[in-house]
A and B are shown apart, each in its own frame.
Chain A
Amino acid sequence: MGHGITVIDRLWRDHLVADLGHGRALLHIDRIFLHERTGPAVLEGLVAAGRAPAHPAHVFGITDHTVPTLPGRSEATMSASARSFVTALRRSTRAAGVPLIDIDDARQGIVHVVAPEQGLVLPGMTLVCPDSHTGTVGGLGALAWGIGSTECEHAVATQTLVRVEAPRLQVRFDGMLPAGVSAKDMALALIARYGATGGSLNGQGCAIEFTGAAVRALPVEARLTLCNMAVEFGAWTALIAPDDTVFEWIEGRPHAPRGAAFDIALAHWRTLRSDDDAAWDATLTFDVSQLAPQVTWGTSPEHGDAVNACVPDPATQPDPGRRAAWEGALHYMGLQPGAALQGTPIDAAFIGSCTNARLSDLREAARLLRGRKVAAGVVAIVVPGSMPVRAAAEAEGLHRVFLDAGFEWRLSGCSLCFYSGGDSFGFADGSNRRVISSTNRNFEGRQGPGVRTHIASPATVAASAVAGCIADPRVMGLGDGHG
């Protein structure tokens, strides 16, 4: 075994304020993001305790979780609960001197889309947010993770957090992704193979570095998708060591360093990689060369398979606990063991979320939708990841493709990733409708009481919207507009 260290160790050391013994460290947190559903609790908690933010300029508020996405949104169209959260965030950020991207800001969107695109996340940063998908920005080589509101008070008050060292897990994706298959499918296949706790060791969430040729080949937005799903894998966080793909993507963004300052930062960023002889607590490998588009069939992200596979039979599951879970999942999802996943009729298709609503995701979906129509009776909705993504998509005419196909083209927010009482598919209560969605969770009731969620890539969602049932995007080709 060599004496090399991992990129995670490098970031840990870069941020080490104090070694507290027994693997525990006080780490400096470079940036903290707050959204309206938990931000007020964080800032008001500090005030109640007579505390203040250590560095308000390093804390950012954003409105995303509960804001309506129907065009023409305003104070009047917000749900009562959205209004209470947004009002509270406005009040508390103003009192604390924390910048806020509000609903009417041209930069508004989902926090894990906005932070990278505004250059607010840089390689080598530590970053936290009271949202479980914060690890998304690990795709830029940041060490970022989700926390609760009380933990976030600690981060805002002291600009530090106490962490116990996490096990280091290398997940290497080898080979070349086939056409029509994407980072979302890589993530779903990984979780299907190793389970919802595959990213943890001895009950502890791992720090994952995604490596391998298939990862190096991913553009930045796809890297964000891959890291986004690591929390569904039971990981503490995930990252991808930054490289020229990332450095070029970052350069020129509004809050990125400029000129000589950029060069100084770049020199440091280039050191943020794992040594070839670094010691890992575990390594998983996955060859993507034969990977098929994935779709979930159950009520955990681990309940997934290739889109051209069949619903599994719980009777074949040797573990009794897992068998019971599969039976419960199939009952909730209204699926029969052995049935083909393809051809399962759907009632709605949703493209959105911090997982898959960036420009490349919209382009991919539009490629399949060009010249085609959403099947009759299917509700189809696109919620771009941010207002800048939306504007860029419109500049390319993508909105016309979605609208002509029969998709709603909405404003930005977390929207239907989860049902918060605001945005809705319009299903009647108890109707158990089926949705295919580019989001990250298919838990029971996630998208509404009784709603049956299938998670997939934007391409698979688009293909399914046209087919009116779960469909393989590869069969549809790459948008030749025929068949």
Chain B
Amino acid sequence: MKAVNRIEGVAAPLLRDNVDTDVIIPSREITSPARDGYGAKLFSPWRYSAPGGPENADFVLNQPPYRQASILIAGANFGCGSSREMAVWALAQFGIRCVIAAGFGAIFRDNCIRNGLLPLVLPATKVAALAAAATLQPAGWCVDLTTCTVHEPGGSTHPFNFDAHDRAQLLAGLDAIDLTWQHRSAIEAFEAADRQRRPWIWAAPDPSEALPTKEVP
């Protein structure tokens, strides 16, 4: 995975709580297994006046300069609801590389880390202040993961906490599966012991009950 350290650019305010992944990317927009093509569909219920219709001039991400936003400042419980990772893909393909919020849906947050999109948590009052600042000064923001600092265009800085392990992984662009394979011997030891301890987990399925593996489609 590509390493992440600094994100610079325009910050867009979207200060609503409980923004769910259904509005970030509705099911009707998930039309094939392909992983691309989601940028145009991001927030489609809010960006477009009707499915396939013209843009809503009112929506922040339709307004210059926020059309170029790489940082989104959002409300609490951002990304709640469905686990669809397409929500992260849609944000990333639009160009968002960091979301600052008072809190995130748990699955969404993990999906962000897996895709190198930064989910930053700050207290609600601080987030509201940053959103107000982004309304006045959209350009010139910086989120620095190396120093765990948000830099406002006006010069104010705000430290943030970030899980140390996730941070190290993002800064180095490490692959999660490769990291886990460093524990290969522990995995093998666990499985060997578990086969004795919980044999019912490991029992081969009765062939008469076995679920089919699909033959030629």
Contacts and interface: CB of A to CB of B under 8 A. Distances in A.
Contacts of B45: 444-445, 449
Interface in A269-297: none
A420 B30 contact: yes
Contact of A94 (B77, B176, B180, B214): B214
Given A418-B22, A430-B50, A148 B88 contact: yes
Interface in A186-208: 196-197, 200, 203-205
28 contacts: A26-B186, A28-B187, A38-B84, A81-B30, A84-B32, A107-B211, A125-B201, A146-B83, A147-B110, A148-B84, A148-B107, A151-B110, A196-B77, A197-B76, A203-B121, A234-B77, A234-B106, A254-B209, A257-B203, A261-B199, A325-B17, A328-B16, A441-B82, A444-B45, A445-B22, A445-B26, A445-B45, A449-B28
Interface residues of A, number: 93
B90 to A, nearest CB: 13
A236 B106 contact: yes
Contacts of A130: 83, 85
B149 interface: no
Contacts of B104: 203
Contacts of A153: 177
B17 A443 contact: no
B138 interface: no
Contacts of B186: 17-18, 26
Interface in A282-332: 300, 302, 321-322, 324-325, 328
Interface string A115-141: 000000010110000111000000000
Given A94-B214, A148-B111, 7 more contacts: A18-B183, A24-B165, A322-B17, A420-B27, A441-B82, A443-B81, A445-B22
A238 to B, nearest CB: 13
A450 to B, nearest CB: 9
B200 to A, nearest CB: 4
Question: 5 closest A-B pairs (Cβ-Cβ)?
Answer: A99-B211, A148-B85, A148-B111, A205-B106, A150-B114
Contacts of B17: 321-322, 325
A265 interface: yes
Interface string B77-119: 1001111110010000000000000011111001100110000
A85 interface: yes
Interface string A7-29: 00000001011101010101010
Interface string A427-453: 001100000000001011110010000
Contacts of A124: 198
Contacts of B105: 234
B191 interface: yes
A162 B182 CA distance: 13
A26 B83 CA distance: 21
B121 to A, nearest CB: 6
Most buried by A among B83, B190, B201, B217: B83
Given A131-B83, A154-B176, A419-B26, A87 B106 contact: no
Contacts of A80: 31
A182 interface: no
A324 B33 CA distance: 37
Contacts of B50: 429-430, 449
Interface of A: 14, 16-18, 20, 22, 24, 26, 28, 30, 37-38, 40-41, 44, 49, 51, 57, 60, 80-81, 84-85, 87-88, 90-91, 93-94, 97-102, 105, 107, 122, 124-125, 130-132, 146-151, 153-154, 157-160, 162, 164, 196-197, 200, 203-205, 232, 234, 236, 254-255, 257, 261-262, 264-265, 268, 300, 302, 321-322, 324-325, 328, 418-421, 429-430, 441, 443-446, 449
Given A300-B18, A445-B45, A22 B177 contact: no
A51 B181 CA distance: 12
Given A158-B181, A265-B200, A203 B103 contact: yes
A148 B81 CA distance: 12
Contacts of A94: 213-215, 217
A119 B210 CA distance: 12
Contacts of B181: 158
B177 A51 contact: yes
Nearest to B29: A421
A100 B213 contact: yes
Contacts of B136: none
Nearest to A448: B28
A350 to B, nearest CB: 15
Given A162-B180, A429-B51, A132 B107 contact: yes
Contacts of A51: 177
Contact of A147 (B83, B190, B217): B83
Contacts of B85: 38, 41, 130, 148-150
Contacts of B31: 80-81, 84, 421
B20 A98 contact: no
Contacts of B110: 147-148, 151
Given A146-B107, A151-B110, A421-B28, A98 B33 contact: no
B180 A98 contact: no
Contact of A132 (B83, B121, B200, B217): B83
